[in-house]
Amino acid sequence: MKKGLLIILSGPSGVGKGTVREYIFSHSNLPFVYSVSMTTREPRNGEVDGKDYYFVSDEEFQRNVQNNNFLEHASFVGHSYGTPKDKVEALRNEGKHVFLEIEVNGATQVLTNHKEPGVVSIFLMPPSLRALENRIKGRKTEPKEIIEKRLEKGRREIQLAGMYDYVVINDRVENASQKIMDIILNKIKENKEED
Ligand code: 5GP
């Protein structure tokens, strides 16, 4: 059986990756599965362990790091996040296409260390730095220094867009999601034709 694709959606914090991912999963019948990450952050209201994330302690996360269980892992706003390697491999070996929605540091690790065929990387780009700033500032819960740090990080992350196979501008969620679904559909077709 042909190994499934590894589809990576990434982009700076605040660009709207989560919203685009949710849109794609609720509006498409594309045959792919979402890879559930492990995290040390607390579940938010309505989040389900094993569906949204595997919620684990710092100790358990570190054990997984030491046992080399992650395809990639990174810290984000004081918490750790990682993609379980064995689960992704098992799904891909069953011929399933696996979708990761991860922050830029982790995506860079995959793109640097796993230069295998079958990886499709998509960078979600804000329409402008001003738009990113407005989105980050829109989260009114954060102090000014944190907002400035996030923006600085976002500016650095945008400079890595050239590492990805595709850059999609998130002007409107529907447009960006449709473009991403078209990219994935084409790649799935190509993957089949190579059989
Ligand atoms: P949240 O806590 O809001 O669910 O996610 C915070 C950030 O972590 C988002 O940018 C999300 O894409 C990213 N993220 C979620 N899972 C993973 C993962 O397994 N690895 C990495 N590197 N980032 C992740």
The residue contributing the CA closest to ligand 1 atom 2 is: 41
Least confident of 50-64, 96-110, 127-141, 179-193: 127-141
User: What is the number of the ligand 1 atom nearest to the C-alpha of 17?
Assistant: 12
pLDDT for res 23 = 96
Transcribe 138-150 into DSSP letters: HSTTS-HHHHHHH
* Average pLDDT of every residue of the chain: 93
Taking only the tens place, the pLDDT of each residue in 122-147 is 999 999 988 998 888 886 677 888 88
Please state the pTM of the whole predicted model. 0.94
CB-based burial, 33-52: b 16+ in 10 Å, e otherwise: bebbbbbbeeeeeeeeeeee
Cβ of 170 below 6 Å from ligand 1: no
Q: Indicate which atom in ligand 1 lies nearest the CA of residue 53.
A: 16
**150 compared with 173, residue with greater pLDDT:** 173
The pLDDT value given to residue 195 = 64
Q: How confident is the model at residue 50 (pLDDT cuts 50, 70, 90)?
A: very high
Pocket test for ligand 1, best of 37, 99, 122, 132 (most atoms within 8 A of CB): 37
* Mutational test site, ligand 1, from 56, 76, 123, 132, max ligand atoms within 8 Å of CB: 76
Amino acid at 92: R
* Chain center to CA of 21: 9
Residue 26, classified by CB atoms within 10 Å of its CB into exposed (0-12), middle (13-18) or buried (19+), is exposed
By CB neighbour count within 10 A (0-12 exposed, 13-18 middle, 19+ buried), where does 152 fall? exposed
Structure confidence by residue, pLDDT tens digits, 55-86: 999 999 999 999 999 999 999 988 999 999 99
Q: Please state, for a pLDDT cut of 90, what percent of the chain lies above it.
A: 77
pLDDT of residue 139: 67
Q: What pLDDT, on the 0 to 100 scale, is given for residue 31?
A: 83
**pLDDT for the residue numbered 136:** 84
Tally: H helices and E strands in the chain: 7, 9
Q: In the structure, what pLDDT confidence band is assigned to residue 114 with cuts at 50, 70 and 90?
A: confident
Return the pLDDT at 111: 95
Name every residue whose Cβ is closer than 8 Å to that of residue 56 and which is 6 or more positions away in sequence.
38, 39, 40, 64
**Which CA distances in Å does 78 have to 14, 71, 146, 188?**
16, 20, 12, 36
- Closest ligand 1 atom to residue 13 Cα is 10
Is the pLDDT higher at 157 or at 28?
157
Q: What is the pLDDT of residue 146?
A: 81
Would you place residue 184 in the very low, low, confident or very high pLDDT band (cuts 50, 70, 90)? Answer: very high
